Amino acid sequence: MRRLIDFDSRFLLKAGPSQKGQVVSKVAYVVKRYPRFSETFIVNELLAHEKAGLDIEIFSLRPPVDTHFQDLLSLVRAPLTYLSSGSVKAHELWGMMQTAHRQFPSILNSLGSVIDEDSLDIYCGLKLAVLSLQRGITHLHAHFASSAASVARIASILSGIPYSITAHAKDIFHESVVHADLENKLAEASVTFTVSEFNLQYFQQEFPPQAASKVVRLYNGLHLDQFQYVSPRQRKPQIIAVGRFVEKKGFSDLVDACTLLRSRQVPFTCCIVGSGELLPELESQIKRLNLEQHVQLLGPQPQKVVKQLIVESAVMAAPCINGSDGNRDGLPTVLLEAMALGTPCVSTDVTGIPEVIVHGQTGLLVGQHNPSALADALVRLLADGEQRAALASAARELIVNKFDIIANAASQRRYFTLNHTHSMWSESSPAQLAEV
């Protein structure tokens, strides 16, 4: 039985308004940095939970470093607490231990279990444990199985509050991921959500049942009422691509494909929205290939502008690749957004992408690092309005059926409720988890 320490019983249960008799937890969302321009999937999830009446607090390990933020952030009502400035000094760690000892003395009994963790993670975990007990948090949920999950796990060990994880891609496949550390997190979490069937199968193949049996597939989702479908039958010959300028997005292949389109005298423009470490390389590549009249780097843009660009474009290009460091996309939210809005997509077979881009049915798939095949697919969709319309209609239907954030967040809350009712008193079995 998981040990509970200094819990006031008034913190344990809160009657929820949505379903008679349902227990609704007060959930702490634990993230590395909040807000982040590219992580709209977290904001979508928060807003869906808040709409359903879930009580949430956000805890960010570090302050943000982005200079642009999405408009959706203004709709999130959950209070935000920063656990650190991004580093910790010895006197700060000692001071947090003293605070923990004064308010919840039993916390320090378990400190030996986490003594080998990173000092900043220990500090954040201690602070999260203390604040969670003070504020009546009944469940901890970490987005990404890296540092956020480390801090949630530490806080859980110290406080007795159960934790869960959403695992995406970099936190699973990057070369820096320590297999044994990830296995421990999965095994000790009450449940781990992952964003694609591909990821779920990877966990089942690579990790022992004690860890893998507690992983479930839960797709990210969209607020579909904010993504009105527009038929792409009549569109100007514009290609749109959106994402961070990092290796895994494959934008260098897209620029090379644009060179082929120009050589074939295909009328087109290509707009790439985003920013990142590869900006100088992309700018240099475009200049070297004399593509300035065809390819525009538009920088980061608010979601309203991105939506308009998507709706105006004949095709969305997402030539994702498996990076040299193992990093890769899980299932890019921008693909879901384009499919919801009615813009057909060309992408690759990276991780969960074939679960939404079914070749010839809901979009087109090409091989990784294949600018020629990418150019061929782009030409098909630039030239054929009827094919665009057929693919887009089927894609929208798939998004409605599988990627409605209201429905998917409701499924997630059932796991939070189960874990609140069971995990804090006894260990839930995989069979119990599977029944939700």
Give me the residue spans of the domains in the chain.
9-221+405-434, 224-402
Task: Check if the beta carbon of residue 124 is closer than 8 Å to that of residue 101.
Answer: no
pLDDT digits over 290-340, tens only? 999 999 999 999 889 999 999 999 999 999 999 999 999 989 999 999 999
Please report, rounded to a whole number, the percentage of residues in the chain having pLDDT higher than 70: 89
- DSSP code of 86? S
Beta-strand runs (E) in 72-168? 80-82, 139-143, 163-167
Task: Kindly report, residue by residue over 177-206, the tens digit of the pLDDT.
Answer: 999 999 999 999 999 999 999 999 999 999
- As a whole number, mean pLDDT of residues 396-404 equals 98
Distance CA 317, CA 376 (A): 12
Can you give the pLDDT at residue 284?
A: 98
Question: In sequence order, which residues have a C-beta less than 8 Å from that of residue 123 and are 6 or more positions away?
Answer: 83, 84, 88, 92, 93, 96
Q: How many CB atoms lie within 10 A of CB 103?
A: 12
Task: Report how far residue 122's alpha carbon sits from residue 108's, in angstroms, rounded to the nearest whole number.
Answer: 12
What pLDDT does residue 217 have? 97
Nearest of 53, 56, 98, 116 to residue 80 by alpha carbon = 56
Q: What is the mean pLDDT of residues 229-246?
A: 97
State mean pLDDT over 150-168.
96
Burial annotation 44-82 (CB, 10 A radius, 16+ → b, else e): bbbbbbbebebbbbbbbbbeeeeeeebebbeebebeeeb
Tell me which H or E stretch contains 110: none
Q: Tens digit of pLDDT for each residue in 243-256?
A: 999 999 999 999 99
pLDDT at residue 269 greater than cutoff 60: yes
The domain defined by 224-402 folds into: Rossmann fold (3.40.50)
8 Å CB contact between 243 and 275: no
Residue 247 CB: number of other CB atoms within 10 A? 19
pLDDT at residue 108, as a whole number: 86
Q: Do domains 9-221+405-434 and 224-402 have the same CATH topology?
A: yes
Q: With 70 as the cut, is the pLDDT of residue 426 above it?
A: no
Packing angle, helices 371-383 and 251-263, rounded to 10 = 60
Confidence of residue 38 (pLDDT cuts 50, 70, 90): confident
Least confident of 1-5, 177-181, 369-373: 1-5
Q: What is the pLDDT of residue 221?
A: 96
Lookup result for tokens 């693909």: 335
Q: What is the model's pLDDT at position 419?
A: 60
Give the whole-number percent of the chain exceeding pLDDT 90.
82
Residue 370 pLDDT more than 50? Answer: yes
| Contacts of 401-404 spanning 24+ positions with Cβ under 8 A | 402/219, 402/356, 403/219, 403/220, 403/221, 403/222, 403/336, 403/340, 403/356, 404/221, 404/222, 404/224
Both tokens assigned to 285: 């590549």
Q: What's the pLDDT score for residue 384?
A: 97
pLDDT reading at 11 higher than 50: no
CATH classification number, 9-221+405-434, choose in 3.30.930.10, 3.40.50.2000, 3.40.50.360, 1.20.1050.10: 3.40.50.2000
- Of these ranges, 33-37, 66-70, 143-147, 412-416, the one predicted with the greatest mean pLDDT is 143-147
If one compares 16 and 363, the residue with the highest pLDDT of the two is 363
The CB density around residue 423, as the number of other CB atoms within 10 Å, is 23
At residue 424, the pLDDT reads 37
> What pLDDT is recorded for position 379?
98
Please provide the average confidence, as pLDDT, over all residues in the chain: 90
pLDDT at residue 227 is higher than 80 = yes
**Cis peptide bond upstream of 17, omega within 30:** no
Classify residue 280 as exposed, middle or buried by CB count within 10 Å of its CB (0-12, 13-18, 19+). Answer: exposed
- Is the pLDDT at 25 greater than 80? The verdict is no
Q: For residue range 51-93, what is the model confidence (pLDDT) as tens digits?
A: 999 999 999 999 998 776 677 788 999 999 999 999 999 999 9
Dist CA 91 CA 153 (whole Å) = 23
Q: Are 142 and 155 in contact (CB under 8 A)?
A: no
Query: pTM of whole model > 0.85?
Result: yes
Banded model confidence at residue 429, pLDDT cuts 50, 70, 90:
very low
Render pLDDT for 101-150 as a digit per residue (tens, 0 to 9). Answer: 999 998 888 888 998 899 999 999 999 999 999 999 999 999 999 999 99
pLDDT computed for residue 23 by the predictor: 52
